[in-house]
Amino acid sequence: MLPKRATNAMRHLPPCGGGREGGQPRPGFPVTLFILRRLLTFAATLFVAALIIFILLDLLPGDPARFILGINASEASVAALRTQMGLDAPAHERFFGWIAGMVRGDFGISATQRVAIGGLIAERMAVTLPLTMMAMVLSMLIGLPLGIVAAMRRGKPADTGLMILAQTGIAIPNFWFGMLLTLVFAVALRWLPTGGFTPWHENPGAAFRGLILPGLALALPQASILARVMRTALVDVTGQDFIRTARAKGLTRSEAIWRHGLRNAFLPVLTILGLQFAFLIAGTIIVENVFYLPGLGRLIFTAVSERDLTLVRSATIVLVLAVTATMFITDLLYTLVDPRLRRQNA
């Protein structure tokens, strides 16, 4: 039987990539129950993701003990280290041990680095999260005004120019753009460091400066997308009745867009932002390599090349958690912001 579903909420949701239509509260559905259901889905998603990661990594070829001891180590040394690292327990014990540990906040001990993984991940998140936020803010600071300007100058050279710029921005690989940025702003002009990261507690200013260029590299394609979405959203609302009414009341088109259009263009933009956070987090993995930032992505990379199973799976699940949590929060925000949904839920 086909669901007889009201699809008006869908009109503002992009039908692709993470728009959570399925989770939208239906008319008369209490908000708390909705949140609870989403929370449950969120937890189930994480559990399944953890299972997938574990199964994949459990099959992993390569012996971490052999890696640590290297090319000329004796079999006896390798076997001794393997036992010491607890690689002999059965798979299901190791899986549930891992999950139970994480719930307690204990991520285990890194095989190669021999320190608590929880601390390692926390250190890296102190780079990756701010970097993602930086990219997010930069993409909004760049993308939204440009989108607004383009919408206001619709059809004029400024609009065309900006949209060509946006097309190019989407098309440039971010790692390549990052390198070009470094050459200009770090090597030639020496305004900013070429990379590396000073811990926040040591010098917050230096830490911030270290994130600007990688943030820009990450932000460029996202800003371009935002500019396009913003422009389209604004162009759309300007065709709608309330703008026409406003203009009839004597406002210019720009004024009408400023006063009424922006608020209505907010929903599609919010959806994109939620999506972008997830993509930015993933994008950091590549960009961290260009700027030698000690982020979560580089941690995973190193751990993979060192066959540090416990570290790879814990770091990966944290990354997955970050993505899933963002989607979850976007969902919640969405229900709070959309006036229609609020009315329905009241």
Partner 1 sequence: MNWQRLLRHPSLVIGLGAATAFALLGLISLVWTPYPIEQIVVARRFLGPDPAHWLGTDHLGRDMLSLVMSGTLTSFLVAFSALVIGVGIGVPMGLAAAAWGGAVEWLVLRISDVTFAFPSVVIAILIATLAGPGELNAILAIGIFNIPVFARVARGGALAVATQDYVAAGRLAGLGNAAIAARHLLPNIASLIIVQATIQLSLGILAEAGLSYIGLGTQAPATSLGLMLRDSQSLFLIHPWLGIVPGLTIVLIVIALNIAGDGLRDALDPRLRREGLNHGAG
Partner 2 sequence: MNVTKPLALAATALLLATGAAWAQSSEVRIGVALEPPALDPTAGAAEAIDVVVYQNIFEGLTRIDQNGAVQPGLAESWEIAEDGLTYTFSLHEGITFHDGTGFDAEDVKFTFDRILAEDSVNAQKALYEPIAAVNVVDPQTVEFQLSRPDGLFLFNLGRGDAVIVAPESADNNASEPIGTGPFAFVQWDRGSRVILERYEPYWGEAPALTKATYLFISDTATLTNALLAGDVDGTNNFAPEALAVFENNPQFKVLVGSTEGETILGTNNAKEPFSDLRVRQAMAHALNRQEIIDGATYGYGVPIGSHFAPHHPYYLDLTGTYPYDPDAAKALLAEAGYPDGFSATLKLPPVAYARLSGQIIASQFAQVGIKLELISMEWAQWLEDVLGNKDFDLTIVAHVEPFDIGIYADPNYYFGYDNPDVQALNETLNATIDEGERQRIAQEVQTIIAEDAVNGYLFELAQTGVWNAKLDGMWQNAPIEGVVLRDIHWVE
- Residues numbered 188-207 forming contacts with partner 2, rule: CB under 8 A: 188-190, 193-197, 199
Asked if 41 and 20 count as a contact pair (C-beta separation under 8 A), the reply is no
Q: How many CB atoms lie within 10 A of CB 73?
A: 14
**Residue 175 sits in the site that holds partner 1 (CB under 8 A):** yes
- Which residue of 80, 91, 137, 164 would you call a contact of partner 2, by CB under 8 A? 80
Is residue 183 within the footprint of partner 2 (CB under 8 A)?
A: yes
> Should residue 40 be labelled a site residue for partner 1 when binding is judged by CB under 8 A?
no
Tell me, what DSSP letter sits at residue 25?
P
Length of the chain: 346
For residues 218 and 133, what is the distance between their CA atoms, to the nearest angstrom? 11
CB atoms within 10 A of CB 6: 11
53 binds, among partner 1, partner 2, none (CB under 5 to 8 A by kind): partner 1
Q: Tell me, residue by residue from 102 to 141, as one string, x for binding to partner 1 by CB under 8 A and - for no binding.
A: ----------------------------------------
Chain positions 285 to 344 lying near partner 2, rule: CB under 8 A, are 289-295, 298-299, 302, 304-308
Of 105, 56, 121, 138, which Cα lies nearest the Cα of 298?
121
Q: Does 159 bind partner 1 (CB under 8 A)?
A: no
The alpha carbon dihedral of 119, 120, 122, 126 has a sign of positive
Q: Which CB sits closer to partner 1, 108 or 306?
A: 306
Binding site for partner 2 (CB under 8 A): 61-64, 66-74, 76-77, 80-81, 84, 112-115, 120, 123-124, 127, 179, 182-183, 186-190, 193-197, 199, 289-295, 298-299, 302, 304-308
